[in-house]
Amino acid sequence: QSALTQPASVSGSPGQWITISCTGTSSDVGGYNYVSWYQQHPGKAPKVIIYGVSNRPSGVSNRFSGSKSGNTASLTISGLQAEDEADYYCSSFKGGLYVFGSGTEVTVL
Contact with other proteins (CB under 8 A) among 34, 61, 76, 85: 34
Instruction: Judge contact between 70 and 30, C-beta under 8 A.
Output: yes
Binding mask 68-97 for other proteins (x = CB under 8 A): -------------------x-x-x-x--xx
Tell whether residue 30 is a contact of other proteins (CB under 8 A): no
- The least CB distance from residue 32 to other proteins, in Å, is 8
Separation between Cα atoms, residue 75 and residue 54, nearest integer Å: 9
What are the backbone dihedrals phi and psi of residue 38, each rounded to the nearest 5 degrees, phi first?
Answer: -125, 140
Measure Cα distances from 67 to 10, 44, 58 in Å: 18, 26, 18
What are the backbone dihedrals phi and psi of residue 83, each rounded to the nearest 5 degrees, phi first?
Answer: -70, -10
Binding part of the chain for other proteins, among 9-17, 18-26, 37-45, 73-81 by CB under 8 A, reads: 37-45
User: Residues in the site for other proteins, rule: CB under 8 A?
Assistant: 1, 3, 32, 34, 36, 38, 40, 45-48, 51-52, 57, 87, 89, 91, 93, 96-103
